[in-house]
Amino acid sequence: MVETAPSDSALPGDVVIVARLRARDETMFAELIDAWSPGMLRAARAYVADEHSAHDVVQETWLGVLRGVDRFEARSSLRTWVYRILINKARTRGVRDARTVPVGDLGTTGDDHGPTVDPARFRGAGDPYPGHWHSSPPAWPSPEDGAVAAETRRELAAALAGLPARQRVVVTLRDVTGHSGDEVCELLSISAANQRVLLHRGRAALRAALERRWAEEARS
C-alpha cells in the first residue's frame, strides 16, 4: 500500500530542493509535485469528504509551500514540513466537510481499546489448546493474479475509508504514503504508544475486512 511513484530517490537533497524553490525554479517545483502529490492526495483523502476536496487541499498545500519556503528552517525534513502544511489544511477542510475530528481528539479514545480479533475465534481456557484458533483463517487467493490484485486494492480502499478517523489517518500515513512512526507522531502530535495502537488496530480491521471478503468468495 505504500506510495512508490515517483521515488524520492530521484530527487536531490533538501538543501538543493529548498535553494531551487527559493530561486523559483519551476522545473524543481514540477518535479516535487510529480513525486509527492500522489501520496499527498491519499493523505488528504483520509481527512476530507471526497476526491474533489482532497485535490483542493493538495493544491492549497503547494501554494502554501511556495509562499512559505523562504521561512523553512529545516527543523524537520522538507517532506515532513510539506505534509504538516497538508494536514493542517486537510483538517480545516475535513471539519468543514464533517469528515474528521479536531486535532485534540487524536489522542486515546474508544477506538484504541478492545480486542482486534473476535475472542470467540480462539479456544477457551478449558480447551486442550487454549488460545489457539478454533479453525484456521481461510486461505487468501494468490496476489499474483492481476484481477485478484485489483480487487484487493478496491477492497482495501473501501475498508480504509470506513476506518475510524484516528485509525484511518495513521494507517494512511504509515502504509500508504510511507511515513515513519516518528514522522507520524510529529505530524499528528501523538505519542509513540498511541501511534502503535492506532496502526495495529487499523491494520487488523483491514485484514479482517479482506478475510471476510475472501471467505465469502470461497463459499460462493
CATH number for 75: 1.10.1740.10
Cell of 178: 510511507
Evaluate whether residue 159 is within a structural domain: yes
Residue 202 domain-assigned?
yes
Q: Tell me: do 67 and 142 sit in the same domain.
A: no
Could you list the mean pLDDT of each consecutive 10-residue stretch along the chain, which spans 220 residues? 54 95 96 94 90 95 96 94 96 77 50 56 62 57 59 83 90 92 93 94 88 70
- Asked if 33 and 4 touch (Cβ cutoff 8 Å), the reply is no
User: Is the full-model pTM beyond 0.85?
Assistant: no
- Identity of the amino acid at 92: T
Q: Residue 2: its pLDDT value, please?
A: 46
Domain range spanning residue 84? 8-98
Please list the residues that pair with 122 across neighbouring strands. Answer: 133
Residue 88 forms part of a structural domain: yes
Domain containing 140 — which CATH number?
1.10.10.10
